[in-house]
Amino acid sequence: MFEWYVQAVKTHPIISSAIQVAILGTIGELLAGRIRLGRWYLFGPGPWRLLAKIVVWGFLGITFKYAFTGFFGFVAAIADKGIWPAVEGRLLWRALSASVFTNILFGPMMMLFHRWTDNWIESKEMDWPSLQKAWWTLIWFWIPAHTVTFILPDHFRVGLAALWAIVLGVILGFFARAQQARET
């Protein structure tokens, strides 16, 4: 089974990125809602909302593949030009550097797009303070998580990032539930 997975992500990197993130990102979002609300929430009445969320996560998976590849190369390029400390032969430094640039330059716009699509799907208004809190996850969660992600070979990165989405969903679900308990 594992060999099949590795072959699939190597042979079909874009479609496998979409599928992995569509499935695992949606699971993470559903788990966060389940933990926060104490019941399953499928984003409103009708199956189209759940399907729309899956499609958005799939699209994000494609952007992750391009961003991860691009920012990993970006770090090497700016180091080669002498405007960033050398990354060649320094895997942890290169992974951390790629993670920082990915999350600082790509992360906020990706989150804004994701929040906008979520609000459209669920017929909600934009909650800017909530988005600002979400941006903080780029620092305390995503930079360390993607540092680990970028240590792995290229074909495993999007899959691990999708698994991290489940981890973050669980963490945020518990944070939200704890905050709700404090407010009542």
pLDDT beneath 70: ranges in the chain: none
Q: Is 92 helix (H, G, I), strand (E, B) or coil?
A: helix
Confidence at residue 138, expressed as pLDDT on a 0 to 100 scale = 97
Is residue 28 within 8 Å of 169, Cβ to Cβ?
Answer: yes
Is residue 149 within 8 Å of 99, Cβ to Cβ?
Answer: yes
C-alpha 164/C-alpha 176 separation (Å) is: 18
C-alpha 170/C-alpha 149 separation (Å) is: 19
> Could you tell me the CA-to-CA distances from 45 to 26, 92, 102, 116, 119 in Å, in that order?
17, 46, 35, 19, 14
Confidence at residue 163, expressed as pLDDT on a 0 to 100 scale = 96
Element holding 147 (H helix, E strand): helix 143-151
As to burial, measured by CB atoms within 10 angstroms (0-12 exposed, 13-18 middle, 19+ buried), residue 178 is exposed
Confidence at residue 117, expressed as pLDDT on a 0 to 100 scale = 97
